[in-house]
Structure formats: structure tokens, C-alpha cells
Structure 1
Amino acid sequence: MFSSANSRRVLRLTVALSALALALGTAGTAQARPGVSTAIIDTARGDGNVVSFTFDDGPNPADTPRLLDVLRRHHVKAVFCLQGDQVEQHPELVRRIAAAGHTLCNHSMHHDDMSTWTPEQIAADLRQTSAAIRRALPHARIPYFRAPYGAWGQSPAVAASLGMQPLGWRLAIADWETPGTDELVRRLEEGITPGAVVLMHDGGGDRSQTVDAVDRVIPVLKSRHWRFTLPETGC
């Protein structure tokens, strides 16, 4: 018969082994929350000529307010992929984006390449970014995550486990090249295909050309019976 001391040792050992088994069984896995998946979405909702406009690296006081005015005037809703350090500098713009009915996206804290990061490092950054957004806008809904540079690494699974759908794109117009408004309009008109998620920028530099191009191309697309929708979710 075991003594009470031996029984306590066995109990402690059993608990420790159970905890180890649980840790080994879950290490390296990230379970997507209901309503999201680990798939990187690049498709707009709906059928036919639908398109989603998304804007990265803001908010930026030089260009984001004018972009918001353009989208309001044309009755278009978009996704704004917010960079955490920009959010901390310009929280009033986060509130203005949300008040205008646009959708928020986590775009990391400092726009770092996460492709070689561990899941723990990625999760810490995404949580820090979402916390910054929610300091600016308490209870903000953040349904998407976009990896800086499209360097995804292990971030899709981590983002999905935090309730954010990984958001990619079908068309990037390379507006960081600042090739001129006419060229950006051409890239949009010729590059958009049915269901495309389009990557543009309202931050990270002078984005006045992008804002001007968006202002010009929306009426053209609407005249051709295009509809502006949000990106799909993975489920």
C-alpha cells in the first residue's frame, strides 16, 4: 500500500505528465477562430464585376483625410490596413476612418518582415498592434490581418487564431513608385479583374498620386457597372 507521501508524489507526477502532454500536443499549432480561416484571401465578396479597395501603411495625416473625403464623395467603403506606430501617432485618424464606415485591418506594429519570425513573436506583434488600435478606438472590430511586404511566414495561422482573416491581394499597382497619377489610373483600369482585392497605400510616403488616381478611377469603374465590396472571409 502506498503511503500518503508516495500518493502525493504520484499525483504530482501525473499532473506534470498531463501538462507536458498537453503542451506537446498543442505546441506549434494555432487554431483558427470561428468565422476565419488560415487561407490568404484575395477575393472580393459577390459575383460579377466586384472589387475591393484596400489601403496600407496609414493612417497618414497628409493623405488619409483627403482619401476619406474622396471615398465619401463616391460612396465607396474600403479596408484600411493600419500600421501600429502610425496609429499611436494619429489616433484621431483611426477614429475618423471607423466613423466613415470603413473596415480596419491589422498591418503589424512597425511594418517588419515577419517571414522568419516564430509564432510567439508574430502573436506578440499582432496583439500589440490591435491594442494600439483599440486604445485609439475602444472595442474596434479588426477582422483582417495583412503581412507587411506579403512576407507571410507563419503569420496566417497566428492571425486566424487571433480572429483575423489573412488578407492578400490580386492587384498591387506599385504606387510606392509614385509613377504619376495617369499611370496609376492606367494600372487600375487595366489591372482590375472581377473579384480582385486591390492593394494601394495611404501611408508610407507621399500618396497624393494614389488619392488622385482613386478619385478619377471610381467614376470610370462605376460607369462600367463595377461594384465595390469588402473582401471575402475564409469561412
Structure 2
Amino acid sequence: MLGMAHPVLADNPIPTVVDSTRSGGLSVGFTFDDGPNPPDTLRLLDVLREHHVKAVFCLWGDHVRRHPEIVRQIVADRHTLCNHSMHHDDMATWSAEQIRADLLETSAAIRAAVPGAHIPYFRAPYGSWGQTPTVAADLGMQALGWRMAIGDWDPPGTAELIRRLREGITPGAVVLMHDGGGDRSQTVDAVDAVIPALRSEGWHLSLPARRG
């Protein structure tokens, strides 16, 4: 079955970047960056709910503050949260102190929307990691990378996104997509079409690995 119950995640993340699922085999992990973003995030939640799929949402702090009600819906639907920085800055050259301040501010914004929210992952904007995996691990978050990015930041059309997903997904891959940062309706449409196709071929959706 595509989709799974939300598990209790292990503690003690380590300063490496994970890019695979915890299940292995014919599993794939869907992750969505740069939200929350109405209306696309809300429609994506509807699609995931309809297909009984859980995903990881990598939240941009500025957007969290604008749309806390959507963060509450993400959590109510039992998806997994990921800290994606406060302002989506490139952190590659930042000091550990600067990174820590940003990650703490972002997590605080998320928990202002959802008190006590569990945030097990961090993803660096642009994949510019620098010292962020170590700082994130110290704050209890595993650095979350990806094995496949579908390139939806410049929407090429729903059919092309479907093709990229169908041809690019490999066993155990974490896939990077976007629900924010622009019009992501094509991404939502592609996800809606791809899930039943994957299910028919024996794939299931898994969360990313907790540790490297």
C-alpha cells in the first residue's frame, strides 16, 4: 500500500546528509520545499490525503509566519516537518553561530503555529550545506538531501514532470519537489497522477532515513 502511518522517529541525528528512504526496495520518499503556499499546499494536502500518502514538508520560515493555519493542517494530516531556514538564504559560508540562530528562529516560527511540533529534519536552501549538517544535528535535526530533483522550480508542464518522475525515480530515493516558491499547480497535478501509477507497479511511499 502506498502510504504509511506516521512513525516515532529515532533520536540522535548525525552530521551527514541522508538522501534515501528508511524502507529500501521499491520505496520512494516525497518531499516538498518552500511552503506553506496557498492554494498549492492546500490542494497538495488534499491529493496526499486522497491517496493515503505521507510526505515531508520543508518549511520556509517567512512563509510559516504568513500562513500558520496551513502548517497546522500539515501536522493535522500527520505529515513530517522539516526546517528549511527562515529566509531561504545560502548558508554555505555562514558560521555555526549564524546557522544556529537561523535554525532556532525557524523552528520557533513553526512551533508558534503548532506548539510542541516535532521537526526531525533540516534541509539547506539550494543544497548549500556548509556547516549546517553539524549544527542541525546538534539541534536534533537530521540533514535531509535528495537523490532526485524534478526541476519544478521552472515549471515545464505537468506531462514533463510526470515523465521525469516515472523515468527518474530509483529504489529508495528521496525526491525533491516544491509546493511553494511560485505557482506549483503543475507539481500537484503530477503527484496526483504519479501516485496511482507507482502503486500499480508495486512501489510504496516511505519517509526518509533518520540517520546516515
Mark yes or no: TM-score above 0.5. Answer: yes
CA contact under 8 A between 2:12 and 2:137: conserved in structure 1?
Answer: no
Question: Separation in 1 of the partners of 2:11 and 2:40?
Answer: 35
CA contact under 8 A between 2:82 and 2:121: conserved in structure 1?
Answer: yes
Could you tell me which of 159, 162, 168 is aligned with 1:185? 162
Does residue 178 of structure 2 align to residue 195 of structure 1? Answer: no
Question: Separation in 2 of the partners of 1:56 and 1:176?
Answer: 10
Gaps of 5+ in 1: 1-32
Could you tell me which of 99, 111, 119 is aligned with 1:142? 119
Question: Separation in 2 of the partners of 1:164 and 1:180?
Answer: 34
TM-score when scaled to structure 2? 0.94
CA contact under 8 A between 2:35 and 2:181: conserved in structure 1?
Answer: yes
Corresponding residue SS for 2:174: strand
Query: 1:34 Cα deviation (Å)?
Result: 4.6
Could you tell me which of 108, 113, 122 is aligned with 1:131? 108
Does residue 35 of structure 2 align to residue 81 of structure 1? Answer: no
Could you tell me which of 194, 204, 209 is aligned with 2:186? 209
Cα RMSD of the aligned pairs, angstroms, is 1.0
Question: Separation in 2 of the partners of 1:161 and 1:234?
Answer: 13
Question: Separation in 1 of the partners of 2:30 and 2:133?
Answer: 21
Question: Separation in 1 of the partners of 2:22 and 2:55?
Answer: 12
Match of 1:233 in 2: 210
Question: Separation in 2 of the partners of 1:118 and 1:74?
Answer: 42
CA contact under 8 A between 2:136 and 2:142: conserved in structure 1?
Answer: yes
Match of 2:82 in 1: 105
Identity of aligned residues (%): 69
Does residue 27 of structure 2 align to residue 50 of structure 1? Answer: yes
Aligned length: 203
Structure with the higher helix share, 1 or 2: 1
Corresponding residue SS for 1:149: helix
Match of 2:6 in 1: none
Question: Separation in 1 of the partners of 2:66 and 2:158?
Answer: 28
Question: Structure 2 counterpart of 1:207, which letter?
Answer: R
Question: Separation in 1 of the partners of 2:181 and 2:89?
Answer: 13
Question: Separation in 2 of the partners of 1:162 and 1:93?
Answer: 24
Could you tell me which of 23, 27, 36 is aligned with 1:59? 36
Question: Separation in 2 of the partners of 1:130 and 1:34?
Answer: 17
Corresponding residue SS for 1:141: coil
Question: Structure 2 counterpart of 1:60, which letter?
Answer: N
Question: Separation in 2 of the partners of 1:90 and 1:34?
Answer: 29
Match of 2:142 in 1: 165
Over 6 Å off, 4+ runs: none
Question: Structure 2 counterpart of 1:167, which letter?
Answer: L
Distance 1:34 1:71, change over 3 A: closer
Residues 39-67 of structure 1, C-alpha deviations (whole Å, 9 max, x = no match): 10000111310000000000001200000
Question: Separation in 1 of the partners of 2:151 and 2:77?
Answer: 26
Answer with 1 or 2: which has the greater Rg.
Answer: 1
Gaps of 5+ in 2: 1-9
Question: Separation in 2 of the partners of 1:165 and 1:180?
Answer: 33
Corresponding residue SS for 2:18: coil
Question: Structure 1 counterpart of 2:164, which letter?
Answer: R
Question: Structure 2 counterpart of 1:229, which letter?
Answer: S
